[in-house]
Each structure stands twice: as structure tokens, then as C-alpha cells.
Amino acid sequence: MTRPLLHATDLALRFAETSKDVAALEGGEVQVHRGHIVALLGRSGSGKTTWMNVAGLLVRPDSGRLTIDGTDVLSLDDTGRTVFRRDHIGVIFQSFNLLPQMSAAENVALASSRGMRSGRARAEELLDSVGMSRRAAHRPGELSAGEQQRVAIARALVNEPSLLLADEPTGNLDEETESEVLAQFRTAADNGCGVVLITHSSRVAEFADTVAVMRSGHVTMSTAQEVAEA
Ligand SMILES: Nc1ncnc2c1ncn2[C@@H]1O[C@H](COP(=O)(O)OP(=O)(O)OP(=O)(O)O)[C@@H](O)[C@H]1O
Ligand SMILES: [Mg+2]
């Protein structure tokens, strides 16, 4: 197989500053190929969000190796990480992180590396593609959780990332909207993106091409069938 878009090995991260010392990540391996959707499955507290924060270059691990698009991203300095993240990675947070005082369209356009003005046209296009064009002028507080989720997805896609990381992207959605949102991720993958979907849901995991299972900070890749039989 071709070189993976993302290759993470032996990532370790310990939260030690508080009185309770937690080993949040304890090794394992994840590979994400272009055009593929990987589900990252695991129980609450197993380290999925922490893994995403490391893969999204938001948090530095204590040790391990992480290559994205051929770049050894852990060797980048802070500026290099910010630029790399903007140009290569789209992140959808578990809690959306939309700016409350901005409209849906502004939230998407503001994330554009091409600036607000040309970002605006792209924002309209993307909001349309997630079925949100009629809510473009609404602020997050005026949107349902599922609608905010769709705005967050549009925002993550604004710079055409090669890697899309989504933390429980369908956690707030009914089944029908979930299917529509999953179709968005499939389209992104068909356009050459590598997608990581963090989820508790076996239905969402079944939709993925590969499953990575996180257990107490240790992650291993499995086929969907192995997961179903476990
Ligand atoms: N900033 C932090 N300081 C200390 N411990 C933390 C911190 N962030 C996370 N943890 C701990 O690390 C572990 C992994 O947390 P993480 O948020 O990655 O889990 P998760 O798999 O995303 O869970 P969920 O499915 O509930 O979102 C948990 O035990 C958590 O309590
Ligand atoms: Mg989480």
C-alpha cells in the first residue's frame, strides 16, 4: 500500500501536573490513508480526544512519532505547527468551539486561509453542502446542536484539508441527519482526504473503512469484522 497520510506510532502523553497522575496515551499505532475513513473507537476516558489533540498538533506528546503528509510534524516549532495545521488539517471538536458572536457564515469564512472576503463565497458553498444555507446568518446560539455540528464541519473543510479529524461528529444528531453528515465525510474522503471519526457508536464505526480501537490510551488498528466479533 502507498505511504499513509498520517502515521502515528508509540505516542505517549501523561498528565502529571494535577494530583492525579494520568497516562492518557500509551502507545500503539494508527495509519490513515488518503481516501479512507478510520473510526477511532473507545470507551469514555480511553484517550480519544487526547489522541486527536496530538494528531491535530494542538498538544505535544511526551514521546512517539507522528508523520503527516510526509512531514515529521513533532519536529516543527510552534509557528510551523500552526501553519501546518492551517494548511493540512481540519478539526471538528467535541464541543464545536464556534464563536458565539459570529454568524454561521462568518464562523466558516473566518477560518479561511484566503481571508474573510474570498472565504465568504467558499463558506456559502460549504454551508449549502451541509444543508445549512438557510441558516447562514444565524449565530450558534440560534442553532440546534446538530446544526452547530454541521457549521463546524463546514468550517473544518474550508481550507480543503488533507486530514480531517472529527471528535464525536454525530453525537448530537438523529439518525437521518447522522447519515447526511456521514455522507459529507465520505465525500471528503472521495476527494482525497484522510478522515478520522472519533465515535462511541458501532453504527458510525461500521461506516468507516478501518477501525482503530483505543483501550486505556493504547491504540490498535483492526478490521471492522474483528471489532464486530470482539
Ligand atoms: N488536561 C488534563 N489533565 C489531566 N487529565 C486529563 C486531561 N485531559 C484528559 N485527561 C484524562 O485523560 C484521559 C483521557 O481523556 P480523553 O478526553 O482523551 O478521553 P476520551 O476517550 O476522549 O473520552 P470521552 O469519550 O468521554 O470524550 C481521561 O482519564 C481524562 O480524565
Ligand atoms: Mg473525548
Ordered by start, the domain boundaries in the chain are 6-96+162-229
Instruction: Tell me the CA–centroid distance for residue 99 and ligand 1, in Å.
Output: 24
Pocket of ligand 1 (CB under 6 A): 15, 18, 22, 24, 42, 44-50, 94
Asked if residue 13 has pLDDT above 80, the reply is yes
Residue nearest atom 2 in ligand 1 by C-alpha distance: 15
Residue 104 has what DSSP assignment? Answer: H
Centre a 10 Å sphere on the Cβ of residue 157 and count the other Cβ atoms it contains: 25
Please name the CATH architecture into which domain 6-96+162-229 falls.
Answer: 3-Layer(aba) Sandwich (3.40)
Cell of 64: 512517539
Please tell me what DSSP assigns to residue 28.
B
77-127 pLDDT tens trace: 999 999 999 999 999 988 888 999 999 999 999 999 888 788 898 999 999
Q: How far is the CA of 53 from the centre of ligand 2 (A)?
A: 10
The pLDDT confidence band at residue 227, using thresholds 50, 70 and 90, is low
Q: What is the mean pLDDT of residues 146-156?
A: 90
Residues with CB under 5 A from ligand 2 (ion): 49
Integer Rg of the chain from CA:
17
| Region of 11 on the Ramachandran plot (φ > 0 left; ψ -120 to 50 alpha; else beta) | beta
Helix (H, G, I), strand (E, B) or coil at 73: helix
Burial of residue 64 (CB within 10 Å: 0-12, 13-18, 19+) is middle
- In this prediction, residue 140 carries a pLDDT of 94
Question: Three-state DSSP class for 74?
Answer: helix
Mean pLDDT, the chain, whole residue set: 91
Write down the residue that cell numbers 483505543 correspond to.
Answer: 214
Torsion angle (degrees, nearest 10) of CA 24, 166, 95, 157: 140
Distance 120 CA to ligand 2 centre (A): 31
- pTM beyond cutoff 0.85: yes
Q: What percent of the chain has pLDDT over 90?
A: 69
